[in-house]
């Protein structure tokens, strides 16, 4: 009896949690048909255009245009009505006056609103230098409100980050926390209501009043200024704009600015900025040599595509930095590994050798004769030492007699196998391919298989690339099927239906209850899905499933790369330009996020445009440099 | 003696299963992968020996206790799988560790079901209730097998995950 009661309670709790989350959500009455991105609007064009005219006048010390002059220049001002319209000014600075500064546009008097914003800035900020990159945004507050449970519901799940604004109201009035604010800075979903309350206190609300206020969700239509003078105001949602077209030209441009970001962020001694937080104009303190090597690898890919010498030089400096941290195995001369800095001690990870090998091979493919062959072959020989007789790999090398971990990385073996496969493409030496094949066969046929069960198929984005390129030289049905299974496993946990997912999340993966999809994962999964699409084009030419997945993933990638179009709210948009962020509401750029995205885009571009360099290009005997041939002897 | 031997073996089996589960609950990183290979099987083996020692004479109370012990070992194995995944043990365990726990769960729930149905035929209400629970555990094992093996079930799981995500982020 007791057990039965406990069982019923447990099932009830299990059902109640999701039901309580879902029931707390809902659409605001009257906004059921509201589009995700607002339509182009002449009133928004007029208000933002006029506001920019006033701002320019204030910066040039010219007399501000009268409302009559503005109405003559912007006929749309006559139609703006009561709104309510809210004008925001963003100043690209990490200083306290960054904003956004907001002002209500009363009766279409945009001049008064802009003057209010301008005069609210400290005197030192009221100059054309500081405000050169300033941006204006306009919100039209829509009618209708939706009550929120305390705190915004379980984990804040009643609130859509970046889409729902928070209204605090009482008998004396209301204060609005605009929708985009919870996406412009990293704010946990469960803390949005509390953040709104705190923000209200900076605008004259007491703590008691904010705590006692009625909390409701509201929505706006929002636009940011046109990028070109005289252009139309650009619709925005969740602090982002839609990427208009995802075609080969857009992908190529994305790779170009991504490469330019990495080149800018590579120091004179070859260290690549690891983490950059553009919303604060701050860099992180950590470092990771695996990701360093992977990033250099993608920089050579950019060079292979675009031929920009600055990209190659920066990547070459990065490889010098890498080589300086490599170590020759004292017990096995001629074998080299890379030491990854860690808080406690330096560790020799298989992934570091795999990605280092990839980078050296890519360097040699990019410019024959440029690689360090001692390092390249030394890493490859070390990888062979890490391989067990059954084809599996050890993930950590006990180089100093202190390695105790039994950890088995999911991704290191795939990185090593891809490195060996690429070395075969460069040298034609079958022994590297033999080792790669043994490793791949272990992962496909034995890893996660035991006692008659296949436990699961991990979303191994490195292995699938190796399988695609192995298949070109040693085709095998089981390996090909496994590659397609990895792609299906990845796609299964992504939002691949544009008719159901919010437009800005299409192609994104499933985060947790409190998390928007990871754009960083779209980078690594982009590498995986593009490999699957290439395999599909060769093995299943009548199918387009993997290619479709790759294309949907592309949209998520491009939407989360910073460009002039979507960085108006950052403290340092110029530095962030070209970088790929972590999530739609977490703007940290890490070097490997950029690498994964560039490599995935490179792989997709090959399918979209003839003549693009092959990601797995084979170097023929006649193309090998004399230095490489000498090293191969 | 005939009565105390199966009780003693059943208790030891329960304690072994409880020991592993307690370890996974309190410190999954401290549980050695080797332990999950042999200890759950030892527990099931001891309980199976207990059942075998009294199979022809087992009564309602002893039969219900041994069925409960076997079922608890099955539930413990399934819980250990969940806890291991939640704790990221897949970076340290091999397929054989997860597969071993899975088969312990299957053998435990199936054995418990067979025993409890036999006892329930004698009229025991408790055994009937416990048989239902064992059946549920066996059903969970079948669902897990289907998820590991069948593509359509994996698609269904993906569809459920996507639907729930969109219901909370749409």
A344 secondary structure, DSSP code: S
Tell me how far apart the alpha carbons of residues A477 and B60 are, in angstroms, rounded to a whole number. Answer: 55
Instruction: Report CB contact under 8 Å: A3, B133.
Output: yes
Chain A CB contacts of B88 below 8 Å:
none
- Closest partner residue to B99 among A25, A406, A450, by Cβ? A450
A-B CB pairs within 8 A amount to: 82
In B, minimum Cα distance to A20 occurs at B168
Instruction: Report CB contact under 8 Å: B99, A453.
Output: yes
Instruction: Report CB contact under 8 Å: A455, B98.
Output: yes
Mean pLDDT in residue range A150-159: 88
- Closest partner residue to A493 among B98, B100, B161, by Cβ? B161
Using CA atoms of A250, A255, A261, A264 in order, give the dihedral in degrees to the nearest 10: -120
CA distance B111 to chain A (A): 19
| Dihedrals phi, psi of A555, to nearest 5 degrees | -60, -45
CA atoms within 13 A on the CB side of A11: 6
Instruction: Report CB contact under 8 Å: B95, A500.
Output: no
**Residue B44 in this model has a pLDDT that exceeds 60:** yes
Chain A CB contacts of B149 below 8 Å:
453-454
Instruction: Report CB contact under 8 Å: A495, B145.
Output: no
Mean pLDDT in residue range A68-90: 90
CA-CA distances (angstroms) from residue A371 to A616, A625, A627?
17, 10, 9
The model's confidence at residue B46, banded by pLDDT at 50, 70 and 90, is very high
In A, minimum Cα distance to B90 occurs at A408
pLDDT score recorded for residue A343: 67
Angle at B65 between CA B62 and CA B66, to 5 degrees: 90
**Residue A154 in this model has a pLDDT that exceeds 90:** no
Which of A19, A455, A488, A500 best tests the B interface by mutation, with the highest count of B CBs <10 A? A455
Tokens 């025991």 -> residue: B124
Q: Which of A6-20, A114-128, A393-407 has the lowest mean pLDDT?
A: A6-20
CA atoms within 13 A on the CB side of B46: 19
A273 secondary structure, DSSP code: P
Tell me how far apart the alpha carbons of residues B62 and B48 are, in angstroms, rounded to a whole number. Answer: 13
Q: Which residues of B touch A (CB under 8 A)?
A: 33, 90-92, 94-96, 98-100, 102-103, 129, 133, 145, 148-149, 151, 154-155, 157-158, 161-162, 164-170
Mean pLDDT in residue range A584-605: 97
| Dihedrals phi, psi of A176, to nearest 5 degrees | -115, 130
CA distance B28 to chain A (A): 14
**Residue B2 in this model has a pLDDT that exceeds 80:** no
Chain A CB contacts of B92 below 8 Å:
406-408
In B, minimum Cα distance to A452 occurs at B99
Instruction: Report CB contact under 8 Å: A453, B148.
Output: yes
Structure tokens at A442: 């272990």
CA distance B143 to chain A (A): 13
pTM of the model: 0.93
Chain A CB contacts of B161 below 8 Å:
492-493, 510
Instruction: Report CB contact under 8 Å: B158, A408.
Output: no
CB atoms within 10 A of CB A627: 14
Contact A169, A213 (CB under 8 A): yes
Highest mean pLDDT among A128-132, A212-216, B54-58: A212-216
Q: Could you report the predicted ipTM of this complex, rounded to two decimals?
A: 0.92
Q: pLDDT by residue (tens digit) across A89-139?
A: 999 988 888 878 999 998 888 999 999 999 999 998 888 888 888 999 999
Q: pLDDT by residue (tens digit) across A470-484?
A: 999 999 999 999 999
Tell me how far apart the alpha carbons of residues A529 and A526 are, in angstroms, rounded to a whole number. Answer: 5
Q: Give A275's strand partners.
A: A590
Tell me how far apart the alpha carbons of residues B106 and A254 are, in angstroms, rounded to a whole number. Answer: 52
Which of A155, A443, A492, A502 best tests the B interface by mutation, with the highest count of B CBs <10 A? A492
- Closest partner residue to A502 among B102, B161, B170, by Cβ? B170
Tell me how far apart the alpha carbons of residues A237 and A274 are, in angstroms, rounded to a whole number. Answer: 29
The model's confidence at residue A403, banded by pLDDT at 50, 70 and 90, is confident
Contact A303, A296 (CB under 8 A): no
Average pLDDT value for chain A? 94
Q: A29-66 burial by CB neighbour count: b if 16+ within 10 A, else e?
A: eeeeeeeebbeebebbbbbbbbbbbbbebbbeeeebbe
Structure tokens at B120: 């329930």
As a whole-number percent, the residues of chain B with pLDDT over 90 amount to 74
A161 secondary structure, DSSP code: T
Would you mind telling me the total number of residues written for chain A in this entry? 633
In B, minimum Cα distance to A496 occurs at B162
| Coil vs helix vs strand at A16 | helix
Which of A156, A219, A408, A450 best tests the B interface by mutation, with the highest count of B CBs <10 A? A450
| Dihedrals phi, psi of A266, to nearest 5 degrees | -95, 120
The model's confidence at residue B85, banded by pLDDT at 50, 70 and 90, is very high
Instruction: Report CB contact under 8 Å: A500, B170.
Output: yes
- Closest partner residue to B158 among A406, A451, A493, by Cβ? A493
Instruction: Report CB contact under 8 Å: A4, B129.
Output: yes
Contact A176, A600 (CB under 8 A): no
**Residue B1 in this model has a pLDDT that exceeds 60:** no
Contact A143, A113 (CB under 8 A): no
Spell out the alpha helix ranges (H) of B2-120.
4-26, 33-54, 60-86, 95-120
Tell me how far apart the alpha carbons of residues A538 and B62 are, in angstroms, rounded to a whole number. Answer: 64
The β-bridge relationship of strands A282-283 and A326-328 is: unpaired
Q: Which residues of A touch B (CB under 8 A)?
A: 3-4, 7, 18, 21-22, 25, 157, 160, 406-410, 447-456, 488-489, 492-493, 495, 497, 500-502, 505, 510-511, 513, 516
pLDDT score recorded for residue A198: 95
CA distance A571 to chain B (A): 28
Instruction: Report CB contact under 8 Å: A410, B154.
Output: no
CA distance B6 to chain A (A): 24
Q: pLDDT by residue (tens digit) across A297-341?
A: 999 999 999 999 999 999 999 999 999 999 999 999 999 999 987
């Amino acid at each position: 009896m007791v057990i039965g009661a406990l069982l019923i309670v447990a099932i009830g709790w299990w059902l109640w949690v999701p039901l309580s989350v879902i029931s707390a959500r809902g659409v605001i009455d009257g906004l059921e048909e509201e589009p995700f991105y607002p339509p182009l609007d002449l009133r928004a064009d007029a208000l933002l255009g006029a506001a920019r005219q006033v701002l320019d006048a204030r910066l040039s010390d010219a007399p501000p245009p009268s409302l009559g002059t503005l109405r003559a220049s912007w006929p749309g001002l006559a139609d703006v009505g009561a709104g309510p319209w809210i004008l925001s000014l963003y100043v690209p600075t990490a200083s306290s006056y960054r904003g956004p500064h907001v002002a209500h546009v009363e009766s279409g008097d945009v001049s008064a609103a802009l003057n209010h914003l301008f005069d609210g800035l400290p005197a030192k900020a009221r100059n054309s230098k500081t405000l050169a990159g300033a941006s204006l945004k306009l919100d039209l507050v829509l009618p209708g409100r939706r009550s929120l449970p305390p705190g915004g519901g379980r984990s804040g799940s009643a609130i859509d980050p970046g889409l729902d604004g928070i209204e605090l109201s009482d008998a004396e009035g209301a204060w609005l926390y605009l929708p985009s604010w919870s996406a412009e800075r990293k704010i946990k979903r469960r803390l949005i209501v509390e953040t709104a309350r705190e923000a209200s206190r900076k605008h004259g609300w007491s703590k008691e009043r904010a705590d006692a206020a009625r909390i409701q969700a509201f929505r706006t239509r929002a636009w940011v200024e046109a990028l070109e003078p005289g252009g139309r105001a650009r619709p925005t949602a969740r602090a982002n704009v839609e990427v208009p077209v995802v075609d080969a030209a857009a992908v190529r441009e994305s790779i170009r600015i991504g490469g330019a970001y990495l080149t800018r962020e590579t120091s004179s001694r070859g260290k690549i900025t690891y983490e950059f937080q553009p919303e604060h104009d701050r860099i992180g303190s950590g470092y990771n040599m695996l990701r360093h090597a992977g990033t250099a690898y993608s920089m050579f890919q950019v060079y292979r595509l675009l031929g920009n010498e600055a990209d190659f030089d920066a990547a070459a400096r990065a490889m010098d930095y890498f080589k300086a941290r490599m170590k020759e195995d004292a017990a096995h001369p001629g074998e080299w590994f890379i030491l990854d800095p860690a808080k406690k001690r330096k560790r020799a990870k298989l992934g570091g050798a795999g990605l280092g090998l990839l980078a050296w091979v890519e360097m040699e493919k990019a410019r024959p004769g440029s690689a360090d062959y001692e390092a390249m072959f030394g890493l490859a020989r070390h990888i062979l030492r890490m391989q067990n007789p059954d084809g599996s790999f050890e993930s950590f090398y006990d180089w100093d007699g202190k390695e105790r971990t039994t950890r088995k990385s999911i991704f290191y073996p795939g990185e090593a196998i891809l490195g060996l496969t690429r070395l075969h493409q460069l040298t034609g030496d079958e022994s590297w391919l033999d080792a790669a094949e043994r490793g791949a066969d272990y992962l496909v046929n034995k890893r996660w298989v035991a006692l008659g069960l296949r436990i699961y198929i991990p979303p191994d984005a490195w292995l699938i690339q190796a399988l695609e390129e192995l298949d070109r030289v040693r085709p095998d049905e089981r390996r090909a099927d496994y590659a397609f299974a990895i792609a299906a496993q990845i796609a299964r946990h992504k939002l691949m239906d544009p008719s159901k997912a919010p437009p800005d999340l299409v192609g994104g993966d499933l985060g947790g209850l409190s998390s928007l999809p990871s754009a960083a994962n779209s980078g690594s999964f982009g590498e995986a899905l593009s490999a699957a699409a290439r395999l599909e084009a060769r093995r299943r030419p009548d199918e387009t499933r993997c290619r479709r997945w790759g294309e949907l993933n592309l949209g998520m990638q491009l939407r989360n790369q910073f460009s002039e179009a979507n960085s108006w709210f950052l403290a340092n948009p110029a530095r962030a330009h070209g970088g790929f962020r972590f999530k739609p509401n977490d703007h940290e750029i890490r070097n490997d996020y950029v690498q994964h995205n560039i490599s995935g885009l490179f792989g997709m571009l090959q399918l979209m445009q003839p003549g693009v360099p092959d990601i797995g290009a084979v170097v023929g005997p006649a193309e090998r440099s004399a230095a490489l041939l000498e090293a191969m002897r | 003696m005939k009565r105390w031997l199966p009780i003693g073996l059943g208790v030891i089996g329960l304690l072994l299963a409880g020991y592993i589960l307690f370890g996974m609950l309190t410190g999954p990183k401290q549980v050695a992968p080797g332990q999950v290979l042999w200890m759950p099987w030892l527990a099931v083996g001891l309980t199976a020996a207990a059942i075998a020692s009294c199979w022809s004479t087992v009564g309602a109370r002893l039969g219900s206790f041994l069925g409960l012990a076997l079922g608890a070992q099955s539930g413990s194995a399934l819980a250990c799988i969940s806890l291991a995944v939640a704790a990221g043990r897949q970076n340290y365990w091999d397929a054989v560790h997860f597969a071993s726990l899975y088969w312990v769960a299957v053998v435990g729930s199936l054995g418990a079901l067979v025993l409890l149905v036999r006892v329930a035929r004698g009229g025991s209400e408790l055994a009937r209730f416990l048989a239902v629970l064992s059946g549920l555990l066996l059903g969970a094992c079948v669902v897990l097998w289907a998820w590991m093996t069948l593509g359509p079930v994996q698609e269904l799981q993906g569809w459920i995950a996507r639907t729930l995500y969109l219901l909370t982020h749409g």
